[in-house]
């Protein structure tokens, strides 16, 4: 309900949802902010991969969506949730290749994300190029596509 309220009922058609289609959330890096039993906000992280045109294959984590109840926005809940998710990603050795679609000024200023290495990435849907952000030492800098992290069956 919170995500529908924040992003609309058609949110599943958005590019970020297409990138992680069929994946389950990473529970160790996904959180909710509560006040008693009242849900104030959530953040989710997802396993995705970058398949490079040069055969580069990088497991990545997609962060988001971050959703905060409108009555509690501008109080730092989204920032706290994002910090918590990034700390958890680092604790679980998942912080070397992170990506999200979001406001570059906000995510750059507070969390070090930028679009410098994403300019040649392709995604399954429309995206404002300057909003496709990444951070981490293993973030690829070449051409390729983001999609679900699907492991081959042996």
DSSP state of 82: H
Q: pLDDT for 3-32, tens place per residue?
A: 555 555 655 568 998 999 999 999 999 999
Instruction: Please choose, from the candidates 36, 88, 40, 29, the residue with its C-alpha nearest in 3D space to the C-alpha of residue 67.
Output: 40
The verdict on pTM exceeding 0.95 is no
Give the tens place of pLDDT for each residue, 47-83.
Answer: 999 999 999 999 999 999 999 988 888 889 999 999 9
Say which DSSP state 142 is in.
Answer: S
Residue 118: which of 148, 92, 97 has the closest Cα? Answer: 97
- Judge residue 148's burial from the number of C-beta atoms within 10 Å of its C-beta, 0-12 exposed, 13-18 middle, 19 or more buried: middle
Q: How far is it, in rounded angstroms, from Cα 63 to Cα 84?
A: 12
3-state secondary structure (DSSP) of residue 24: coil
């Amino acid at each position: 309900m919170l995500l529908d309220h924040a992003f609309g009922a058609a949110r599943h058609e958005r590019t970020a949802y297409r990138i992680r289609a069929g994946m389950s959330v990473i529970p160790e890096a996904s959180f909710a902010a509560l006040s008693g039993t009242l849900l104030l906000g959530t953040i989710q992280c997802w396993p995705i991969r970058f398949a490079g045109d040069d055969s580069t294959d990088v497991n990545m984590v997609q962060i988001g969506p971050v959703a905060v109840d409108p009555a509690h926005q501008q109080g730092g809940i989204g920032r706290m949730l994002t910090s918590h998710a990034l700390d958890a990603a680092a604790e679980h050795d998942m912080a070397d290749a992170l990506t999200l679609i979001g406001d570059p000024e906000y995510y750059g200023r507070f969390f070090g994300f930028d679009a410098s290495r994403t300019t040649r990435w392709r995604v399954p849907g429309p995206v404002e190029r300057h909003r496709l952000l990444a951070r981490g030492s293993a973030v690829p800098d070449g051409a390729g596509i983001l999609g679900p992290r699907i492991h081959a069956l042996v």
